[in-house]
Amino acid sequence: MTSSGPIRIGAIDLGPSTGRVIVGTIDEGRITLTETRRFPNSAIPLPTRAGERLYWDLLLLWSEIRQGLLAAVRDVGPLSAIGVDAWGMDYGLVTGDGVPAGLVSAYNSTRTQGMPERLFEAIPASELYRINGLQVQEFTTVFQLMAENREGGLPTPGNGLPSRTLLLLPDLITCWLTGSMYAEVTNASTTGLVDTRTRSWSRPLVERLRTEMGLDLAGLLPETIEPGTIVGPVRRDALEVFGPDGAPTPVVAVGSNDTASAVVAVPAENEDIAYISCGTWSVVGLELDRAVLTEASRRANFSNELGVDGTVRYLKSVMGLWVLDEAVRAWGEQGLEVSLAELDAAAEASEPLRTVVDIDDRIFVAPGDMAARIDDAARATGQPRPRSIGEYARCVNESLALAYRRAVREAAALSGKRVGALHLVGGGVRNRLLCQLAADATGLPVVAGPVEATALGSIVVAARGAGLISGDLAQLRELVRASSDITRYAPDPAAAPAWDGVERRLFGEPQPRP
């Protein structure tokens, strides 16, 4: 599957709170990861006449990325290829030279409030879903563009602004590395502007946005490309990074949406699986051959995002470990310091299913005192409030497991796909209690790992795109599986009635097992 000698792939992985540069060394059928740079990332609040807005410091990120790549070559060795992934939906407008034409707004700025309703007045939500297949999220790119257009920030005929190109964040970093401008489709599919069936911009939708909303995007959108496309070599004026033969290192378009790369690294041995990319937030989904664009799917708020090798990521965003992280932070501010190991042990020792809440309730989205919010949710549903940090942690883990159960079963019912196992990837797999609870709640065996799924998925697609390894998704996953620590959790059959009762208490009749 691989060429002779070690292959070194650089992975640039950007998240809303942390960015990293990782080198994956492929040798003798395994991948070894070396992190060469880790740096914080956060949206910066700035006052504007329209109120406080949040922006990303792209120049700081660029500086950190350059240092990480230089350290990679210095400390690990020449890079044979580079891939870039990040979160979806956020974008920058650039000039023809790739220079930013303004600040890059963060998805959680308030500027998009009310935009979905405005769009649905012109184009009904059901009609839009049949094109882009996306769940409604206020910060989707199309809603951000509507807000920017309202504020006069988009170049449109007659407003005197020079032409611009819209680049999603991974594409923007790749542009600075190579000088090439494009839209990689796994991330472009999060914009709301892509037809999931054609895997390219929906020109009819773009035209309707122009005629019915006054939103002229025709000149902003670059060509779409599929994962695995070589975008170009790293320019010498951008960075002195060279491959093992002294030639400039190529940059390969990977699954540039971080979840798309994570799904590539799901070490499945068959197709009858569901996956959860679990960290601060969770994404629960299935890998399908085609989108599910039914009205029932829209009402259930499932998304059809594009994946690697022509696949569709049929998924739903649900809560992750954010609630527990925020609870620990609040306890620390109150003078109660607790380690994650202590918290996990206390949760495991606590009474099962004593208090379970709807963890996807919007009350848990904003930062704050999560313990107090759990108390409120317990009181509203006639349950006892937790009495200790262990019981609060147990409540969060069991509530997450219930959310996973509902999302997996709903996805299976809406898609008609059988699910025989559940794969957990990402940082959440370190939480052994959550993994076991997910198995018990869903009634499915859980395969947990790898932790570094996003980086591994980016690395194998970049290596294949550069012609350094070969194989389909199954073979790429075999390489990931051989390189990862995998833990398996069997469901407890005796737990099923109790979980049915919890779901019935909170949501009504439980959904059937897939």
By annotation, the residues acting in catalysis are 258
Query: Could you give the residue ranges of the DSSP H alpha helices within 110-253?
Result: 115-122, 125-132, 141-150, 169-178, 185-188, 203-213
Contacts of 125 (CB under 8 A, 6+ apart): 116, 136, 298
Helices 370-380 and 322-333, axial angle in degrees (round to 10): 120
Query: Could you give the residue ranges of the DSSP H alpha helices within 49-93?
Result: 58-75
Residue 163's CB: how many other CB atoms inside 10 A? Answer: 11
* Cβ atoms of residues 271 and 285 within 8 Å: no
Say which amino acid occupies 419: V
Residue 325: CA count within 13 A, CB half-sphere: 13
3 state DSSP class of 55: strand
* The two three-digit tokens of residue 447, written as one number: 């395969």
Say which amino acid occupies 50: A
Q: DSSP label at 283?
A: E
Angle at 212 between CA 207 and CA 214, to 5 degrees: 85
End-to-end CA distance of the chain: 35
The sheet with strand 487-489 has its strands ordered as 303-306, 312-319, 281-288, 273-278, 421-425, 446-448, 487-489
Residue 203: CA count within 13 A, CB half-sphere: 5
212 backbone dihedrals φ, ψ, rounded to 5° = -100, -20
- Determine the longest span between alpha carbons in the chain, in angstroms: 69
Nearest to 20 by CA among 378, 495, 455, 366: 455
Beta bridge partners of 38: 20
Residue 158's CB: how many other CB atoms inside 10 A? Answer: 6
* Cβ atoms of residues 250 and 233 within 8 Å: yes
Q: DSSP label at 2?
A: B
Measured CA to CA, the distance from residue 343 to residue 433 in angstroms comes to 11
* The two three-digit tokens of residue 379, written as one number: 């009181």
